[in-house]
Structure 1
Amino acid sequence: MGRRGHKKQKAFRRATVDAIRKARLEKQKGANGEPTTATNEDQATSEDRPRVSKYEDIVKENALFEKYYKTMNLVPDDEWDAFLAALKEPLPVTFRVTGFRTHAFAVMHLIRERYFQPLQSSTAIEKPKELVWYPGSLAWELNLSRNQLRSHPELQKLKEFLYEQTEHGNISRQGN
């Protein structure tokens, strides 16, 4: 890309950032155009608010899906029920430390020492498994659903760290 292309990209990014800032300022202004002050209610955290209702269980059945894959003959008839049961299982929590970051190995070392080490003595939680096919020992799986990760007290610090590092771009998580 030539010099002009880079300048256009930079100008576009700058315009986008300016538009986002302007939108935030507009959102913060009250009806009279003056900035509003946050109330105690606005500053409440999710822990302070009562949970209104539980989520409904997700129905993991779809007749059209089953019909389509049944007609494809990808799975033998005697294995069909086991195949459907496997599809209905919750996915494990998986993450990878992004390898293109210069500090990826330092982040992984921190995870092993600070968050995985205490789990080694736990009998309630399966040990984290390295995904050996991913280079550099930078991908891991916890044999837990995302709901189990959220609710297990021993995993709270790990969960918070994973969320934080995902926001910073140091970790990619499987849609959990």
Structure 2
Amino acid sequence: MGRGRHRGRSQRKHFKESRENVWKRPRTDPTVDASDNAVADKPSWEPILTDNPNFEEYYKEQGLVRAEEWDVFMEILRKPLPAAFRVNSNSQFCDDIISILENDFVKSLQAEAIEGGELEAIKPLPWYPKNLAWHSNFSRKQIRKHKTLERYPFH
């Protein structure tokens, strides 16, 4: 009985030793240096392109939207999606998080929204039970960069 266990262990050891790791390259590899320079030249984040002639041509041919409404349709598609999030009801901090959202968080954003002209910054989704899901007019990018949101651990 003991032989089978010992043999398997030996086989695994030799398997690992004989196999080349294709994902790890030494730092002296010239292809790594070239790619590092290419990455340094490019910005780390590029805005998403919202113009796609093939997309527009395809949907124009489908006839889903009338010609006079096409520009409005495309304008709406180019807007960033709003952010939505859900509070985990099984968390020990669930009640605390909802309390912070309903009181401090919403009030600070609403005060700022009134100044900025935004109608409603954040609100609970009415169809989700116990105010555990929330909807924001901010995009994910705006939430990450927002000064008021920096003091909250939600982003």
TM-score band, normalised by shorter chain: 0.5 to 0.7
Q: Percent identity?
A: 36
Aligned match of 1:167: none
Q: Paired residues, what number?
A: 111
Distance 2:70 2:109 in 1: 36
- Is the aligned partner of 1:80 residue 2:74? no
Q: Which runs of 5+ in 2 are unaligned?
A: 1-23, 25-41
Asked if the contact 1:90/1:145 (under 8 Å) is kept, the reply is yes
Asked if the contact 1:128/1:141 (under 8 Å) is kept, the reply is yes
State which of 118, 127, 145 in structure 2 corresponds to 1:151: 145
Aligned match of 1:174: none
Trace 1:63-142 onto structure 2 (pairs within 5 A): 63-99=53-89, 104-122=94-112, 123-124=115-116, 126-142=120-136
Larger radius of gyration: 2
Q: Which runs of 5+ in 1 are unaligned?
A: 1-26, 28-51, 164-176
Aligned match of 2:48: 58
Distance 1:136 1:69 in 2: 40
Aligned-CA RMSD value = 2.8
Distance 1:88 1:61 in 2: 8
DSSP 3-state at the match of 1:162: coil
TM-score, normalisation: structure 2: 0.57
The Cα shift of 1:72 comes to 2.3
TM-score, normalisation: structure 1: 0.51
The Cα shift of 1:101 comes to 5.1
The Cα shift of 1:153 comes to 1.2
Asked if the contact 2:121/2:138 (under 8 Å) is kept, the reply is no
Distance 1:131 1:73 in 2: 33
* Higher helix proportion (structure 1 or 2): 2
Asked if the contact 1:130/1:137 (under 8 Å) is kept, the reply is yes
Cα distance change, pair 75–134 in 1 and its aligned pair in 2 (3 A): farther
Asked if the contact 2:89/2:132 (under 8 Å) is kept, the reply is yes
Range with greater deviation from structure 2 (145-154 or 52-61):
52-61
Distance 2:70 2:44 in 1: 32
